[in-house]
Amino acid sequence: MCYMETYKKWLNSPALSAAEKAELEAIADNEKEIESRFFGPLEFGTAGLRGTMCVGLHHMNRHIVGHATQAFAEVVKAEGPEAMERGVAIACDSRNHSQEFAEQAASVMAANGIKVKIYDELRPTPELSFAVRHYNCIAGINVTASHNPKEYNGYKVYWSDGAQLPPVHADTVAAKMKELDVFADVKTMDLEEAKAKGLVTVLSTETDEAFLAKALEQVIDHEAVAKVADEFSIVYTPFHGTGHKLVPEALKRMGMKNVICVPEQMVIDGNFPTVKSPNPENPEGFALAVELAKANNCDLIIGTDPDADRVGIMVRNAQGEYEVFTGNQTGVILFDYLVGARKRNNMMPENAYALTTIVSTPMVPAVAVANGLNYAKTFTGFKFLAEKKDKLEKSGEGNVIFSFEESYGYMLGDFVRDKDAVTAVVSIVEMAAYYASQGKTLFNALRDCYNKYGFYQEKTLNLVMPGLDGMNKMAEIMKGLHANPKTEVAGTAVVTVKDYQTGLATDVATGAATEMELKGSNVVEYNLADGTIFIIRPSGTEPKIKVYILCNDADEAACAEKVAKYAAYAPSIKD
């Protein structure tokens, strides 16, 4: 069916509301817009669905959510009656339409005879992962687009281990979506009727309490926290999202007495009115927090994204100004702190491991090696980190104390299988309190790490390519990089090309290829003659190619020079 036929099918469907029909009628004379909405479906992958919100096959709306849920329900039903009884946990974030989409998913699951546990209101993503494990559910659904701009929403799916859906199940859901009609084959049930029949139950504060208890168990050095709890001050912002209750509560229960929340950003609003993008990676989003911190002479600024799975911090630098830490920098000092705290308190397990990803700073492996710990790298995404953690621990090969991804994601403990900003905030504040008790800031702690392990600096660039044309161009660029890998980058020779699609690492000088452990991802990595790692991959959630520059050097200025050189070169990849 061509896009125009699909458009007409949607336009004439009785499933559309009057408002939805009017929205489609308004684009009747705009063939380009019709094509962009109906040229094909949103791709369902291991991260589920994510897209901008409007009526159409290639966008997030209640019909697409219902369609995906029906396909997911078929996968659950195939597991048998016991799986249907274990049921599915459902949560949502603060985005526009998130509650509506979550209720739509619950309605479809219930109509298929699958029990549902749905939160009474918005909750952090890690608490959804926790609920799947805590209640022994067969699966989970979270309606969120994480840190994306306000136009986006998403549909993240989890399996019984609390991690995002494994590829085998994601592929089955995608295949079922192709088989099922987006309107005719989707079963629904009135939510109140489903509750009355015992198919839907509502989760509330009892789950919050269980989750918070686990998060607070991650505190290692209670004495260090107590020493500075009366004086140490923090500004916190949830960026209008789901961290607004649990993060301040966790800090209060830790014993921190001076936590000031940014009032304008404690307001739940899917339009994120005080920021261009609700992303702790963007320094400009912290403007209100900095203003508040300066007025109150605070020690630390913390921000969590709308679904509270990512956390960013600002610390006082040598000049006393507030400086943003990258996800890599926070990850390094947190890992280094955890290693030290565990050793001081005799809490280091045997065969301790740190997990990180191929695009994250190589400084984490350096810290692991220097401290006699093991490390492993995975593809980008906490589903891979969670999978590796389970594999290591079930086999008895290792015990994971820290999992980290450069995009501001950290996983600690055994009670979630996704990045968890709530628990990460607890550990970050413990770390900050410990250093404060030593007369140091986190800025000092980072400098100490550089002096111990060498200088590392990273930069991520986003080459945005919107629309259908952009998607085609992205595919073309990546295809070319796999077929004809570069032999030099910005004038520096490539020593090794790692093609993670084929799983082969090729020595450029000899042409010899060796198999890598990781295989099957659309990523190309260049190891350069000066020690720099230059990585290119398409984003899995937005229309852009991401370029990662990972540098290290004995000298800080030389390190920064390398980053600047490769950052200037990166945009030429689009040409």
Residue intervals in the chain for CATH 3.30.310.50 = 457-574
CATH number of 457-574: 3.30.310.50
Residue intervals in the chain for CATH 3.40.120.10 = 41-203, 212-453
Quick one: DSSP state of residue 28? Answer: T
pLDDT band at 466 (very low <50, low <70, confident <90, very high): confident
Q: Cβ contacts of residue 42 below 8 Å, gap of 6+?
A: 49, 50, 51, 57, 58, 59, 60, 64
pTM of the complete model: 0.95
Predicted pLDDT of residue 511: 96
Cα–Cα distance between 524 and 20 in angstroms, integer? Answer: 42
**Beta carbons of 508 and 366 less than 8 angstroms apart:** no
pLDDT tens-digit series, residues 57-83? 999 999 999 999 999 999 999 999 999
Predicted pLDDT of residue 266: 98
Is the domain covering 41-203 a CATH 3.40.120.10 domain?
yes
pLDDT band at 367 (very low <50, low <70, confident <90, very high): very high
Using DSSP's 3-state secondary structure scheme, residue 340 falls into helix
- Long-range (24+ apart) CB contacts under 8 A made by 35-40 are 35/3, 35/468, 36/467, 36/468, 37/3, 37/7, 38/3, 38/4, 38/6, 38/7, 38/10, 39/3, 39/468, 40/3
The H or E element containing residue 66 is: helix 62-78
The CATH number corresponding to 212-453 among 1.20.1740.10, 3.40.120.10, 3.30.70.260, 3.40.50.720 equals 3.40.120.10
Count of Cβ atoms closer than 10 Å to residue 493 Cβ: 14
Rg (CA), the chain: 24
Backbone angles phi, psi at 270, to 5 degrees: -70, -5
Cα–Cα distance between 227 and 13 in angstroms, integer? Answer: 65
Q: Cα 117 to the chain's mean position, in Å?
A: 23
**Beta carbons of 313 and 391 less than 8 angstroms apart:** no
**Beta carbons of 397 and 269 less than 8 angstroms apart:** no
Distances 222 to 121, 432, 442 between C-alpha atoms, Å: 32, 12, 18
Q: Cβ contacts of residue 539 below 8 Å, gap of 6+?
A: 462, 545, 546
By residue count, the chain amounts to 575
Using DSSP's 3-state secondary structure scheme, residue 39 falls into coil
Cα–Cα distance between 60 and 49 in angstroms, integer? Answer: 8
**Beta carbons of 553 and 454 less than 8 angstroms apart:** yes
Please list the active-site residues. Answer: 146
Q: Is the dihedral of CA 553, 554, 558, 559 positive or negative?
A: positive
pLDDT tens-digit series, residues 13-57? 999 999 999 999 999 999 999 999 999 999 898 789 999 999 999
pLDDT tens-digit series, residues 391-422? 999 999 999 999 999 999 999 999 999 999 99
